[in-house]
């Protein structure tokens, strides 16, 4: 092996890192005010609004804004049973920091067992069908249960995140559940998110500091190399157009 090849073999990959701040204090103040007003307006329009938080960056921005706007919005998280320990720990960190309660919504044991019996514990690696089946048992069914009785729900989706979200709007109808759905960060950039987090001193998920721009279940999430798409680490073994779990797909 040549010296050049040895050096190439020893080189460590450079992973994604938190982008530098891109907004002035005044610009961030304006964006923050708009976000808080959006959340306040949503909570006034609807009697039962719920926010599904993954504890990752976008959702921490929304959580921070909900707390500071004193918006009447219930928080919950999908405790899939396959999350990183860091994500599990972030629930209590967030609750303690903001003085809020985050409901943990678990999958039904029978649904998980049915998936395992058909596909195997890690059968989601076999293809799109098995991946959707796992997400269905661990995420979609629990989400449906978590939203029973709600008349609106909130997500941390942004247009910039992926090709499947470029037409995202602030408000849409969730046809599958028959309720309104809001994406209050739809027009925010990645740099906007991180500028807010830095200036507002919002708690940061530890995996963001280790090259994970997007965080899901542990076996389905990996670090992303510098200049890769920010969702490249989600279900990386599938085609690039398969980066949704089904939570945000209508009928």
Q: Residues with catalytic annotation?
A: 245
Cross-strand partners of 172 = 181
Going from the C-alpha of 121 to that of each of 114, 116, 247, the distances in angstroms are: 10, 5, 21
* 148 half-sphere exposure, CB direction, 13 A CA radius: 7
Both tokens assigned to 73: 């919005």
What's the first-to-final CA gap in the chain, in angstroms?
55
Give dist(CA 238, CA 127) in Å, integer. 7
> Taking a C-beta distance cutoff of 8 angstroms, is the pair 80, 111 a contact?
no
- Helix and strand numbers, DSSP H then E, in the chain: 8, 6
Going from the C-alpha of 221 to that of each of 82, 83, 144, 224, 238, the distances in angstroms are: 11, 10, 23, 9, 12
Both tokens assigned to 9: 């073999």
């Amino acid at each position: 092996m040549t010296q050049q090849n040895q050096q190439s073999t020893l080189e460590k990959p450079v992973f994604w890192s938190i982008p530098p701040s891109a907004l002035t204090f005044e610009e961030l103040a304006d964006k923050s005010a708009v976000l808080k007003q959006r959340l306040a307006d949503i909570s006034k329009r609807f009697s039962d609004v719920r926010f599904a938080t993954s504890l990752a960056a976008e959702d921490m921005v929304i959580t921070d804004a909900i707390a500071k706007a004193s918006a009447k919005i219930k928080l919950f998280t999908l405790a899939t049973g396959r999350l990183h320990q860091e994500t599990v720990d972030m629930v209590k960190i967030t609750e303690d920091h903001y003085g809020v309660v985050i409901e943990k919504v678990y999958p039904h044991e029978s649904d998980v067992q049915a998936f395992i019996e058909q596909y195997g514990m890690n059968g989601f690696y076999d293809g799109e069908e098995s991946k959707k089946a796992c997400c269905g048992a661990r995420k979609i069914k629990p989400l449906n249960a978590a939203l029973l009785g709600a008349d609106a729900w909130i997500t941390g989706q942004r247009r910039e995140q992926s090709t499947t979200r470029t037409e995202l709007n602030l408000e849409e109808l969730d046809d599958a559940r028959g309720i309104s759905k809001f994406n209050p960060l739809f027009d925010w950039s990645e740099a906007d998110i991180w500028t807010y987090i830095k200036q507002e001193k919002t708690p940061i998920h530890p995996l963001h500091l280790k090259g994970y721009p997007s965080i899901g279940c542990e076996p389905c999430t990996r670090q992303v190399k510098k200049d890769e798409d920010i969702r490249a680490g989600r279900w990386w073994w599938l085609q690039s157009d398969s980066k949704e779990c089904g939570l945000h797909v209508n009928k």
